[in-house]
């Protein structure tokens, strides 16, 4: 989709898709007749994991660590993102259908974290990545919390899904029972077809409304709640939000942020992290995460203008 930030990572097994796939798996034998049943089952599944130990997230992390040590993941001193994703994704460990769905979510999320970090760390070995995992003070300590879809986007994806089910329940059912095909069509296929047919401005104008208040003036919500990602108008272009918040890839950036604070190659100016000298490094903002530019000149002007403004 034109005008989207290229830094937005693949989320084929993102939060809403994970919720939907678990609901679909449950529906095959529960035949839901009430939206509250769907939400209750989703909520209690992830709460149980948090209380009893999230073995799915732990296995995913162990798999990632083993893959990172594979010779094919680093080629000529550079991280091979395709090899990383391929080796992690083909790993199969669980037989339970719900755990398999959540496992796909965790694997993708961990790959995204590594690739987001690699944008500015330029890893040459697995040891460097694992050291950053430790130094960030987040991933090892807060693994279960960070992986759980319930915690994603400050809980807004879960809230939007609940609202979506309540508003569309009758249209999602066949003979009073939740229809998995109708759920997929309304939640995902409909938006995917629009992306293929229209450009971004047409999609926003036809199918979105703005936040409607000063706190969300840069946020655009689908007219039908939950049927498309929330869009945020960032410094330079739109990007899909990871929840209701104003930042793309918040989980990934929260880890990068801790490393940026200690990185001598960066200086913090207001809410921005700018490279000290190497302008090939990415620019980050606490408001929008990574900021992308079309040309080096555009990037240098942006940095110069912001530094001047914050030095007044």
pLDDT digit string (tens) for the chain, length 312 residues: 344 444 455 555 578 889 999 999 999 999 999 999 999 999 999 999 888 888 999 999 999 999 999 989 999 999 999 999 999 999 999 999 999 999 999 999 999 899 999 988 999 999 999 999 888 776 666 777 778 888 777 778 888 899 999 999 999 999 999 999 999 999 999 988 998 898 888 888 899 888 655 555 577 888 898 888 877 776 656 666 655 445 567 778 888 898 999 999 999 999 999 999 999 999 999 877 888 888 999 999 999 999 999 987
* Cα distance between residue 48 and residue 54, in whole Å: 9
Please give the order of strands across the beta sheet that includes 272-275: 266-269, 272-275, 283-285, 289-291
3-class DSSP state for residue 267? strand
- Please state, in angstroms and as integers, the Cα–Cα distance from residue 21 to each residue in 100, 136, 269, following that order: 10, 31, 42
Q: DSSP code of 28?
A: H
User: What is the C-alpha end-to-end distance of the chain, expressed in Å?
Assistant: 38
CA distance 295 to 304: 14
Rounded distance between C-alpha atoms, residue 201 and residue 46, angstroms: 37
Structure tokens at 296: 């080096």
Secondary structure element (H or E) that encloses residue 24, with its range: helix 15-30
Q: Which two tokens stand for residue 166?
A: 């309540």
């Amino acid at each position: 989709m034109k005008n989207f930030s290229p830094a937005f990572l693949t989320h084929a097994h993102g939060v809403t898709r994970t919720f939907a796939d678990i609901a679909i798996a449950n529906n095959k034998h529960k035949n839901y007749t009430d939206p509250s049943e769907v939400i209750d089952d989703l909520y209690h599944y992830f709460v149980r994991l948090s209380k009893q130990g999230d073995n799915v997230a732990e296995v995913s992390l162990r798999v990632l660590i083993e893959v990172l040590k594979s010779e094919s993941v680093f080629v000529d001193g550079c991280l091979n993102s395709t090899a990383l994703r391929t080796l992690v994704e083909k790993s199969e460990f669980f037989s339970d259908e719900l755990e398999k769905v959540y496992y796909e979510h965790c694997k993708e999320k961990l790959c995204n974290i590594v690739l987001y970090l690699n944008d500015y760390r330029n890893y040459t070995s697995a040891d460097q990545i694992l050291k950053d995992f430790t130094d960030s003070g987040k991933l090892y300590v807060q693994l279960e919390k960070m992986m759980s879809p319930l915690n994603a986007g400050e809980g807004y994806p879960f809230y939007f899904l609940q609202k979506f089910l309540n508003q569309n329940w009758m249209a999602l059912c066949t003979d009073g029972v939740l229809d998995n095909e109708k759920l997929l069509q309304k939640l995902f296929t409909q938006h995917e077809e629009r992306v293929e047919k229209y450009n971004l401005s047409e999609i926003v104008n036809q199918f979105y409304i703005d936040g409607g208040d000063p706190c969300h003036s840069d946020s655009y919500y689908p007219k039908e709640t939950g049927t498309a990602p929330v869009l945020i108008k960032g410094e330079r272009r739109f990007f899909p939000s990871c929840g209701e918040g104003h930042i793309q890839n918040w989980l990934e950036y929260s880890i990068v942020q801790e490393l940026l604070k200690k990185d001598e190659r960066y200086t913090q100016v207001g809410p921005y992290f700018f490279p000290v000298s190497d302008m090939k490094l990415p620019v980050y903002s606490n408001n929008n995460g990574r900021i992308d530019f079309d040309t080096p000149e555009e990037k240098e002007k942006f940095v110069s203008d912001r530094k001047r403004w914050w030095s007044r």
